[in-house]
Structure 1
């Protein structure tokens, strides 16, 4: 996709609205609120006029493009992007493509398969679209990926699906927050699916905020997406939310005697008791489910 030419320095700076207009062609989901959010997280730092209006120059726009590409193509959390920009590992001024997913993943290798699959799927989509342009820059070479491991936009058949291995997804670092568009991108949800899950209370924003989500919401969104692809509706998943709330309510009642003591030792015991109860609850749910489904597996 050809990028729009940014006005030269002789044309002074751009406003945030003008920057948005330049970015929308390549990033249809970007908004003014997203640009402001990136500034609040310290990823961009545009100049300000005496009256407080933002002033964007060529370097600012290229930096924004770099950040948005890292999110879209490599699924990197904002904190990781910021760290790598600060260290120079990500250079917004270079036009030489880096091997996707090799230098831009956590050291433990989490998410490698997902990033490689995303790269292969993007290449396949471009080929099917009949693109005739040739890129003479050296592209990264990866091992072939099984066709059934690639993401697809085709709707899942309503018949009960055959379980398939889940491709590991990039993990969100503790403390990193996401906007709605970022969460949808990382979980594979479209806007309608997200809105349905949120309307039934499965996905909730952080307390005291609107439209900001944490790693817990991302975990729920990813699991919910798999249920949706299997043919369930968001309203069906509401039962898990209700059951979880009831279970937590019971656990909280059981640790109240410890919490009333108001001392560090009792508080630590209460927390450990919660962990133990959660494990017991999981074991009981598994046993009940096995008992309820046993007749399906009997000859």
Structure 2
């Protein structure tokens, strides 16, 4: 936590401070490190990140461990938690004259890649859906960040929202959670393969019908209002969800067999 009155930086300004030592770093990379629980910048009321000097130094430490010791993020996280990695370094408060100019950040190749990721997210080869970074439970992202993580454009997101395929997390304003990132990434793959957003609405409708059926089955347990019954309800819900996935997959394979079998 930053000291009162400490200077904070936007994610773009942090990128500019890191580019000299780490030319390949991008805004998406910084966001991904947060989604994996390695950094935890503060947020403004509107959901934008604000980084303090300690956050910037921690990013440098993480990126050095990746580059010099070839450590996977899981190992880096464990070493940070155990204190095996010294994050104190020689961090100094970020001064105003250390802030990179917009021109310096925008003209750097890595910054250009990051900007293009935000403005017009890239498409995966063949139009398929790439694997979206997984957010930790409780981490929320704004619209621009969701588009970057799911590799969809703002127009794509608007269409998906219009048809109720992607929705913000209830009660937190215009912010999205881990489920929305995963849904948007999969939906983006369909869009790139020519499936219109209005047709994806049928998936949402089907899921809502299934959820309604599951609810009828577990409500009697939840009404008992005791921990054992609630645990049983959650376990039953997990079983129902798994069976639903198996049944849907088997039905789809059976239906498509005429196209896949010589």
Structure 1 residue 80 and structure 2 residue 38: aligned? yes
Corresponding residue for residue 66 of structure 1: 14
Aligned partner of 1:186 in structure 2 is 149
What CA distance in whole angstroms lies between the structure 2 residues aligned with 1:180 and 1:162?
Answer: 22
Q: The residue matched to 1:90 in structure 2 has which SS?
A: helix
SS at match of 2:256: helix
Q: What secondary structure, in the 3-state scheme, does the structure 2 residue paired with 1:75 have?
A: helix
Residues 85-105 of structure 1: CA distance to partner in whole angstroms, max 9, x if unpaired?
Answer: 63732359xxxxx57975897
Higher relative contact order (CA 8 A, sep 6+): 2
Distance 1:248 1:178 in 2: 26
TM-score by length of 1: 0.55
Range moving further from structure 2, 185-194 or 99-108? 99-108
| Residues 217 and 45 of structure 1: CA distance in aligned 2, closer, same or farther (over 3 Å) | farther
Structure 1 gap segments, 5+ residues each: 1-41, 48-56, 93-97, 110-121, 127-150
Q: Which residue of 2 aligns with 1:236?
A: 199
CA RMSD, aligned part only? 3.8
Residue 70 of structure 1 deviates from its aligned partner by 5.5
Match of 1:106 in 2: 73
Question: Which of 256, 271, 282 is 2:219 aligned to?
Answer: 256
Give the 5 Å matches for 1:132-281. 153=122, 168-281=131-244
Question: 2-side partners of 1:251 and 1:180: how far apart?
Answer: 31
* Number of the residue aligned with 1:36: none
CA separation in 2, counterparts of 1:197 and 1:100? 39
Whose helix fraction is larger, Structure 1's or Structure 2's?
2
**TM-score, normalised by the number of residues in structure 2:** 0.62
CA distance in 2, matches of 1:63, 1:153: 20
CA contact (8 A) 1:74 1:100 kept: no
For the residues of structure 1 that align with 2:27 and 2:130, how far apart are their CA atoms?
18
Aligned length: 199
CA displacement 1:13-71 (0-9 Å, x = unmatched): xxxxxxxxxxxxxxxxxxxxxxxxxxxxx6x7784xxxxxxxxx9x5458761068763
Aligned equivalents of 2:208 and 2:258: distance in 1?
A: 29
Residue 89 in 1 paired to residue 52 in 2? Answer: no
1:266 shift after superposition: 1.0
4+ residue runs over 6 A deviation? none
Alpha-carbon shift at residue 214 of structure 1 (Å):
0.7
Give structure 2 stretches of 5+ with no counterpart: 17-24, 42-50, 77-108, 114-119
The whole-number CA distance in structure 1 between the counterparts of 2:147 and 2:121 is 15
Partner of 2:88: none
Shift of 1:189: 1.1
